[in-house]
Amino acid sequence: MDNPRLDMQRSAGKLAIFPAGIYLLVLFGVVVSTASGSPIPLIGWPILLLPAAAFSYSIIDAVKLHRTSDIAETTRLWRRSLLLAVIGTGLMVLAVVITNRITPL
């Protein structure tokens, strides 16, 4: 029998993976723009890599969430996965804004 609560928690884990994909697209865009001749300052690269820490732990927790069926473990993992995805998204937005402000026109 399917457990609707477990399905919703796993859906939250899938939702946490989506912003990480957007972050990878942002990084790819920065690499392409740098390769095409409009580089960002050197300090911009570490700033753009800060969200990777939050997104990597979010994805790890989302994968663990899909592999377990323990109620206590899934309750802990879905909240942590979503929280880290929100933190990573905030860091990504801040990194993009800061990088755009320090990039000379």
Is the pLDDT at 1 greater than 60? The verdict is no
46-81 residue pLDDT tens: 999 999 999 999 999 999 999 998 889 999 999 999
- Max distance between CA atoms of the chain, in angstroms, equals 59
Asked whether residue 102 carries a pLDDT value surpassing 70, the answer given is yes
Which residue carries 């800061």 as its tokens?
98
Given a contact cutoff of 8 angstroms between Cβ atoms, the answer to whether 58 and 16 are in contact is yes
Domain ranges of the chain: 4-102
